[in-house]
Amino acid sequence: MALLVGDCGAYDRLRTPAPHESAMTTSMRQPCRQNSSDRIPLARPPPATRTAPPPLTRPWRRLGCGRNISASHTGELMAGHWTTLGEPDGIEAYVHHPEDGEVRGAVVVCSELYGVNTYVRDTCAELAAAGYVAIAPDYYWRNARRTELGYTAEERESGLVLMRALDRDELVADAAAALAAARAEAGGRGVAFIGLSMGGHIAVRAATELRFELAAVFYPGWLLNSGFPLVGPVPPLETSERIAANGVFLLGFRGELDHIIPAEEWEQAGQRLTEAKVAHDLVTYPAANHGFACSDRPADYDPEAGADAWRRVYAALQTYL
């Protein structure tokens, strides 16, 4: 599969570059660390309440994470759980801790417009199996707690209603709460935001306001245009220099046939990031659709592109966290 790849491929530190990819040009950074006395760990359920989740029914997509875990092992994973981030009546998040071994860092998983559904929870389980504490905030909590939607046309419309009710400043506050929780759980390592579609936009917005190590975003929309409360009057890449100032490496993925993100917009995004001196790598997958990495969306799923994107994500996690 031929790839159209950006010019800042930091994941290539961990392997030999393929012929179609350029050598990396950015240097490795030390993760931000927090004094252990300042950490307030997220609540964990007592051991008796930890039950194994049912085996995943979709393909086990984790590649290049450094642990040889297959679908047959998923029943052995510790169950994720919901917890509050801060005030008892405030934002909640679905959290998955590594079962054992070294904590390699923490990842904030920002969901699609479908909420913290099975796909997002499975993503958290896979990250935890690789050694990362995974935290998926419920960004819809002000209007509908613990929203979990499927991928039918009707459920998509429900998600769009909830998405249009989101407010930019409230999202930044929620992202800050998630980041604080992630820092407390990261074991002295770094923090990444992984964003899926709508969540990709949230992760990029967070990078303009908050300091963390890595933003890995799948088909993120509305980076250069505004028009509704989620985006606000200033789209995130209008302030790309803030991403550079915050030291966030931006890794982005888009399908060539994405109906939400035109090729011209993706190219403009890369130009804006380059002008602002943001360390980044934007990858385009030929013949792939919006949602290509989600196996729960069979009409859009591209297993080859999805596996390659996740391999790059895990390589970046190893590098930056």
- Classify 194 as helix, strand or coil: strand
Q: Are 162 and 140 in contact (CB under 8 A)?
A: yes
| Greatest mean pLDDT among 27-41, 74-88, 286-300 | 286-300
Handedness of CA 42, 47, 51, 56 (dihedral sign): positive
- Average pLDDT of the chain, as a whole number: 82
Sheet holding 214-218, edge to edge: 4-5, 280-285, 249-255, 214-218, 191-196, 105-110, 132-137, 92-96, 81-84
Cβ atoms 197, 152 nearer than 8 A: no
Residue recorded with tokens 């989600």: 294
Per-domain boundaries in the chain: 4-15+80-320
**Is residue 72 very low, low, confident or very high in pLDDT (cuts 50, 70, 90)?**
very low
Tokens for 289?
């659709």
Confidence at 306, pLDDT banded by 50, 70, 90: very high
Contacts of residue 18, defined as CB under 8 A and 6 or more positions apart, other chains included, come to none
By mean pLDDT, which of 200-204, 224-228, 281-285 is the weakest? 224-228
pTM exceeding 0.85? no
Give the whole-angstrom CA distance, residue 166 versus residue 221. Answer: 15
**Residue in the block written with tokens 């985006």:** 231
Q: What local confidence, expressed as pLDDT, does residue 3 receive?
A: 52
Q: What angle do CA 193, 197, 202 make, to 5 degrees?
A: 45
* Residues 108-162 pLDDT 10s: 999 999 999 999 999 999 999 999 999 999 999 999 999 999 999 999 999 999 9
Mean pLDDT along residues 168-179:
97
C-beta separation of 208 from 245 below 8 A: no
For residue 93, is pLDDT > 60? yes
pLDDT of 17 strictly over 50? no
Contact (CB, 8 A) for 214 and 316 = yes
Res. 193: pLDDT tops 90: yes
Mean pLDDT of 25-39: 31
**Residue 88 pLDDT > 50:** yes
82 burial level (CB within 10 Å; 0-12, 13-18, 19+): middle
Q: Which residue has the tokens 């030999």?
A: 16
Q: Give residue 10's pLDDT.
A: 37
Higher local confidence (pLDDT), 45 or 261: 261
What's the confidence (pLDDT) of residue 226? 83
Say yes or no to pLDDT of 81 above 50.
Answer: yes
Whether the predicted pLDDT of 211 surpasses 60: yes
Q: Where does residue 137 rank: exposed (0-12), middle (13-18), buried (19+ CB within 10 A)?
A: buried
Question: 27 or 261: which carries more pLDDT confidence?
Answer: 261
pLDDT, position 101:
75
Q: How confident is the model at residue 33 (pLDDT cuts 50, 70, 90)?
A: very low
- pLDDT (0 to 100) of residue 320: 98
User: Closest Cα to residue 271, out of 202, 223, 315?
Assistant: 223
Q: What is the share, in percent, of the chain residues with pLDDT greater than 90? A: 71
Residue whose C-alpha is closest to residue 216's, from 197, 240, 244, 189: 197
CATH level 3 topology of 4-15+80-320: Rossmann fold (3.40.50)
**Res. 21: pLDDT tops 60:** no
Higher-confidence residue of 48 and 100: namely 100
| Token pair 């169950």 in the structure block, residue | 79
Task: Identify the pLDDT of residue 289.
Answer: 98
Report the alpha-carbon distance of residue 248 to residue 239 in Å, rounded. 13
Q: Is the pLDDT of residue 73 over 50?
A: no
Quickly state the pLDDT bin for 79 (edges 50, 70, 90): confident
* pLDDT score at 316: 99
- Residue 43's pLDDT band (cuts 50, 70, 90): very low
pLDDT at 236 over 70: yes
Q: Which of 8-17, 78-87, 297-306 has the highest mean pLDDT?
A: 297-306
